[in-house]
């Protein structure tokens, strides 16, 4: 009897629960919006992205697109993204944790927020942090796979780069102004061979003095027979169209500080110097010349012992007992530089491995570093030269290449995605 009571109570409770479930509001189930190969796009994805886009329009004060048209565009985007993500998976492309964290940090910085503030804003907008991280990871995957696949489709010839570079340079020249220094020695058309020889020898000597670093203005004031002699040869600021033809033809494309000559004309012999340039983009790079001694640890030579050896060499060099170049020739295990006394030649420090680059940039002129470790082994390095190099030509060439690449990228990317669509099985479930 007691057992029947328990059973009846359980049945009553179950019936009540079932009755309550029947009377509850129906739960809307998610639906498949599209099938893409072996994957699916859910209607909830379409609705969420549609709402986000619509909200962005409204927040910007713009009229939101008609809902049916907007949902169609959103679904098309999701299908294209899905196909690219599948391509990334086939190619084994992955996003590292550090790459993801760095990207999120960059997003936060762009909005002048900390990462925690960015996450708080995301949660307020109704998206979880996990969903946000997943969306960023997918965007990175799409970017990487499209870059890999589209780069293969773009071939840029040297001739194309040269043509665009010529056009860019011409535009820059039109906008540029040059401050020109001028030294002239007169020589008329009836001058004797002896006069020609004397003027030629003198202009060559003046040019040698200019190239040796003598003051151009003082040389012009003392020697020039040109119209601006009293101004130290300074013609002031001119663009190519304003200056004499002789000047324009000589200095076209010239760089600040560059000297041209001797140049012969019907009036005499000339030396020109580009004193300064404005209105022209100049790109410079710091280059260093250094020398080093490399000792590589081995089974026989431990890390600690390699460092001790370099400590000894450094003390011997500083005391004057040994010469850096001779020690490098005898003991450095970098064969390319050892034969030259350890000298590496002029180079952009960014070409070196990080540990070596950081050490070279830290040093004062002629200073010798303490022993330090890089991926190659243990080093001591001495900075023997530093200069600023004009890399405008290389930068402009790279810019011209990038302009052509960017022009073609979106076109080729669209073609690649269309090819993915043509090869894929796609079934759109929702009504058009």
Kindly report, residue by residue over 317-350, the tens digit of the pLDDT. 999 999 999 999 999 999 999 999 999 999 999 8
Taking the whole predicted model, whether its pTM rises above 0.85 is answered as no
- Work out the pLDDT band at 431, boundaries 50, 70, 90: low
What does the H/E/C string look like for 237-273? EECCCCCCHHHHHHHCCCCCCCEEEEEECCCEEEEEE
In three-state secondary structure terms, 173 is: helix
Residue 11 has pLDDT above 50, yes or no: no
> Token digits for 390?
């004009």
Quote the pLDDT of residue 210: 93
**55 half-sphere exposure, CB direction, 13 A CA radius:** 8
Sign of the Cα torsion 206, 211, 214, 218 reads positive
Using DSSP bridges, classify how beta strands 268-278 and 284-295 pair: parallel, antiparallel or unpaired.
unpaired
Using DSSP bridges, classify how beta strands 426-428 and 32-36 pair: parallel, antiparallel or unpaired.
antiparallel
**164 half-sphere exposure, CB direction, 13 A CA radius:** 16
Residue range 46-102, pLDDT digits in tens: 999 998 888 888 888 888 788 988 999 999 999 999 999 999 999 999 999 889 998
In three-state secondary structure terms, 207 is: helix
In 3D, which of 353, 359, 351 has the Cα closest to residue 375? 353
Q: Indicate the average pLDDT of the chain.
A: 87
Residue 218 has pLDDT above 70, yes or no: yes
Total residue count of the chain as it appears in this document:
432
Q: Using CA atoms, how far apart are residues 33 and 108, in angstroms rounded to an integer?
A: 33
């Amino acid at each position: 009897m007691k057992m029947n009571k328990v059973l009846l109570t359980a049945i009553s409770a179950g019936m009540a629960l079932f009755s309550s479930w029947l009377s509850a509001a129906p739960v809307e189930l998610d639906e498949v919006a599209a099938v893409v190969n072996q994957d699916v796009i859910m209607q909830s994805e379409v609705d969420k992205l549609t709402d986000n886009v619509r909200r962005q329009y409204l927040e910007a004060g713009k009229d939101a697109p008609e809902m049916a048209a907007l949902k169609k565009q959103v679904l098309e985007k999701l299908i294209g993204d899905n196909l690219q993500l599948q391509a990334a998976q086939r190619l084994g492309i992955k996003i590292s944790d550090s790459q993801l964290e760095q990207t999120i940090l960059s997003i936060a910085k762009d909005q002048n927020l900390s990462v925690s503030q960015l996450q708080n804003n995301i949660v307020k907008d109704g998206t979880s942090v996990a969903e946000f991280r997943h969306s960023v990871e997918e965007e990175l995957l799409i970017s990487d796979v499209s870059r890999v696949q589209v780069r293969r489709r773009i071939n840029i010839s040297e001739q194309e780069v040269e043509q665009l570079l010529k056009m860019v340079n011409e535009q820059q020249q039109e906008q540029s102004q040059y401050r020109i220094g001028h030294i002239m020695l007169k020589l008329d058309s009836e001058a004797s061979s002896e006069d020609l020889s004397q003027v030629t020898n003198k202009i060559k000597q003046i040019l040698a003095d200019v190239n040796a670093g003598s003051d151009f203005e003082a040389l012009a004031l003392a020697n020039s027979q040109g119209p601006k002699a009293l101004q130290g040869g300074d013609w002031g600021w001119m663009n190519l169209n304003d200056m004499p033809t002789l000047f324009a033809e000589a200095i076209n494309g010239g760089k600040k500080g560059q000297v041209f000559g001797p140049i012969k004309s019907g009036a005499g012999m000339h030396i020109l110097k580009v004193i300064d340039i404005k209105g022209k983009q100049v790109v410079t790079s710091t280059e260093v010349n250094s020398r080093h001694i490399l000792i590589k640890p081995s089974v026989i030579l431990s890390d600690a012992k390699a460092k001790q050896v370099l400590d000894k060499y450094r003390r011997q060099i500083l005391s004057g007992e040994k010469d850096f170049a001779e020690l490098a020739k005898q003991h450095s295990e970098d064969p390319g530089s050892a034969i030259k006394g350890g000298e590496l030649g002029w180079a952009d420090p960014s070409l070196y491995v990080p540990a070596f680059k950081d050490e070279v940039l830290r040093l004062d002129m002629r200073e010798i570093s303490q022993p330090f470790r890089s991926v190659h082994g243990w080093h001591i390095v001495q900075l023997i030269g530093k200069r600023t190099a004009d890399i405008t030509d290389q930068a402009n060439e790279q810019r011209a290449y990038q302009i052509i690449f960017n022009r073609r990228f979106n076109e080729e990317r669209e073609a690649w995605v269309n090819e993915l669509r043509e090869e894929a099985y796609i079934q759109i479930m929702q009504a058009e």
